[in-house]
């Protein structure tokens, strides 16, 4: 697995994430799934720490991480091309990765 720096998520990104976390109000909804976001990873539906997301995906030229989302939501969002199909809009249970994958027409994980 590539390091954060190798993926382009280096010091500046970590600073942006820290800034977002300082401003964050626990319970605010996630852009992708609509569920509440918490600083405490154990309170998040996926049990993971929040990720700093780029409204304009990095692959589309975005350089600023400007909002927090869940870890797994960030992975499902990918480059944002399926934002109109996000679970917050469709009502699909984001924890059901296969259902979201089917909705998005992609496979994030190799299913047997
Ligand atoms: Zn989410």
Cα–ligand 1 centroid distance for 16 (angstroms): 19
Residue numbers of the chain with a pLDDT score lower than 50: none
Backbone angles phi, psi at 36, to 5 degrees: -65, 145
Q: Which of 51, 95, 57, 55 is nearest to 78 (CA)?
A: 57
Query: H-helix or E-strand containing 67?
Result: strand 67-69
For residue 48 the two structure tokens come to: 């993971």
pTM of the full predicted structure? 0.80
Q: 71 CA distance to ligand 1 centroid (A)?
A: 7
The answer to whether 71 and 50 have CB atoms below 8 angstroms apart is yes
Residue 100 has a pLDDT of: 76
Distance 61 CA to ligand 1 centre (A): 23
């Amino acid at each position: 697995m590539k390091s954060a720096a190798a993926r382009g998520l280096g010091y500046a990104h970590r600073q942006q994430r820290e800034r977002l976390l300082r401003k964050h109000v626990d319970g605010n909804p996630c852009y992708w799934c609509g569920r509440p976001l918490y600083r405490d990873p154990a309170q998040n539906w996926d049990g993971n720490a929040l990720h700093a997301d780029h409204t304009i995906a990095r692959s589309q030229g975005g350089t600023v991480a400007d909002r927090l989302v869940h870890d797994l939501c960030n992975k499902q969002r990918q480059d944002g091309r399926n934002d109109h199909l996000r679970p917050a809009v469709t009502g699909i249970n984001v924890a059901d990765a296969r259902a979201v994958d089917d909705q998005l027409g992609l496979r994030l994980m190799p299913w047997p």
